[in-house]
Each structure stands twice: as C-alpha cells, then as structure tokens.
Chain A
Amino acid sequence: MEVGAVLDEKVFYLDRALLKQYADASGDQNPIHQNEEFAVSVGLPNVIAHGMLTMALVGKYVSDFAGGAANVLEYSARFIKPVIVPAGEKVDLTVTATVSEVSDDTVALSLTATSAGVKVLGMAKAVVRK
C-alpha cells in the first residue's frame, strides 16, 4: 500500500425509504429528511439526506477497506453540499479514496464523495489500522 494509490470506486444508492430507515436507526427525525413540503418551506430544494447518513455510507467504504469497523481509528468530514433525494428516485453516492499517508501501523485515506456529480463531503479523511 503506497501513498497516492487510488482505491476502487463504490456507488451507494439513496432513496426516501433509506432516509426513513436512517432516521429510525439514528433517532434523527428532523422533517427536512422526510417531508418535502417542510424541506421546501425552510428554503431547501427538496428533501435532503442526513449528512450523517452520507458519512455512515462512506464509513462503510472505510470499514470495508480496513477489514472491519474494529480497524477504523479516526474518521472525519465536512458537510459541504446536501445530497438531494427527490420522491421516487434513487440518487447516487459515489465514493473513492486515495492513500494519503502510511505509517508502521496505520493507513490514512483521503476520501471523495459525490452525488449527481457534486462533491458533498469536504476534507473527508480516515485513519485505519494496517
């Protein structure tokens, strides 16, 4: 594993049902993630995914690379753009990563996450056990 190595891309798909499922699993029942009328009333283009759902899916990518969640030591991201989830559609979350640092025990990844071609996470990084 060398610095600069590019990892395989993985595509996750989000729809309204997944947002409801995440709301129940996380306890975050904010209506901007479920109710289009409410989301629009507060100035959003449509229902948006929880930033933490996006981060959870990218976290799965990190866990898979690390050989399991037990090997994930650090994980961070900035929420720069929402993932917009219109009714009846499945929208993509496309994830790739580059190895940014390698030490004796750890590998650091610089992660990229886009939806409909728009970068949704900024400064996304993870450190995993080798």
Chain B
Amino acid sequence: MIFAEGLGRVFGSYVAVENINVDIKQGEIFGILGPNGAGKTTTLRLLTGLVGPTSGRAEVAGIDVAKDPDLVRQKVGILTETPGIYARLDALENLRFFADVYGVENADVKIRAYLERFDLWERRREPVGSFSKGMRQKLAIARAVLHEPQVVFLDEPTSALDPESSRIVHELIVELRQRGATVVLCTHHLDEAEKLCDRIGVLRKTLLHVDTPVALRRKLYGHFIELDTRAPLTEAMLAHIAALEGVKVTASHGTRIEVSVADMEATVPQLIAMLVHEGAAILRVAEKMRSLEDVYFELLRTGAP
C-alpha cells in the first residue's frame, strides 16, 4: 500500500530525510518514532504528495506520489501536526467542507456519527474558535478519516487529548485497520506505538530500523529469561549456566536471576533441564523484554542495533 525506495528530500544544503526504504502493507498500522527534527513531517509530506522527493521514489495506493500527487491526495487522509481547523466555521461546516471536497456520500450521517463518537455533537453549531485544543484535535481527526481513505497519516493524533479521548482515538485506529485501511502513525508516545502498531520505524533522517515492537526489542537486546527459584542458586549452578553456549547471567538477586540467551528455542529447555538436574526448585520462567523506550533511545544513540 505504501512503498518507498531511496526516498529523500533536500532543501538547499539541508538534508530533511534520506534513503527511506519501506514497504507497508494494506491493513497495517505503521508507527514512525523519532525526535523533533527527525524528518517525520517531511516524510508525511513526501508520502502525501505535498512536497516532491529530490531522490528515490514512493508509491501510495499504487500511485507514484511524484507523478500524480492529486490522485494520491484523493486516496489518503492526513492529520497534520496542527489541527488546522477553520475557527470561524462551526464543527458541522468544517466537516461539511471537507466532505464536499472529497465527494463523501451520505455525508450528513457520517458527520453526525463522528461528531457523536468524539462527543462534539452537542456543540456542532458553535464556532470552532471557541473549542479547546483537544476538541479541535478530535475534529481534525474526524476530518482526516471522514472520506474513508485507503491510507491515513496521523501526526501526533493524541498529543492534545485526555486519556478518555485518546482511548477513543486508539479504538478508531484499530477500527481503521479492521476496515482494511493502512495507518501511518507518527507519535512520541512509545506506549501508544507499542500498543497499536504492527511495525515501527525509528526515524532520524532515515529509517534506522523497521520491525515489530517485539522483534525490535529482541534484535537490539537479544532474549532475556527471568527465573525465580525457591532458594538462591549455588555458585556451581551459576557456573554451569555460564558454561552453556550462548548463555550469560546478566543479573542475580537472591532467588531471581536474569540470563541472556542467543537462541531461545534451543537453549532454554537445555538450561531448565540442567537446573532441575542440579536440584534447583524452579518456580517461574518468563521472557523478560526491554521496554520500547530503551530500544528507541538505544537506536537514536547508536544509529542502528
């Protein structure tokens, strides 16, 4: 649904983004994480045909963004980093304008459904200038998806929202995926990215790494196993663990130890069998994951895992 190959954009001597390679499937929620100035906005603008690339190419919904940007814009919906709602118009007029532009069928029904969903129906006739930041953001999200686009780009959709509204937006994003739409989600909320996204790309001028949240954590830090035992492991047991190939004890606190393993499927049964054989009473074995936040900062620090 979205394909980019060597995509880049230079403004004068300033490199905004470079060599972006990505292939996002239909019905996928793809998260873009990156610090301020990493090129998230430029990437969205490139993929929506708002700016042209200076290198590489991209296709959205099968259309080359540089060759037919108007057609690309017909197929996508975008929430820009600022809501960009017309302050002098009311909520209905704002949505009606965009419904007219996109030729939305049954626009009144859809507009009402979104306004009710976002708890804005009661205030539909008030000028949007009187709305709070969160209310404007919700209206802008409704505007971005009103025409049921094949691809939705959301730049910080929950940045101004309270937890309840954020939850409604999260539900909407999942619903978009169920409907078959592809969602590109730029966010600073790592927990939001982890919860919603099928894959995540960490962006700093280029996509440093793209994978599922779980795979990202494993690729960067390997697999970690946490073991709880009835009694602390003996020195001999610890020595035997260390002797196993691809296994390293990373932490040991009384009855709890943490080990890194290179190959989960091959090593973990061997490790457990060895400890049971040595007489350890194992109470719990669990895979321990590094947080996405750790992965994110590590990627930004090192450039790549």
Chains A and B belong together in one complex: no
Give residues in A with beta carbon < 8 Å to B: none
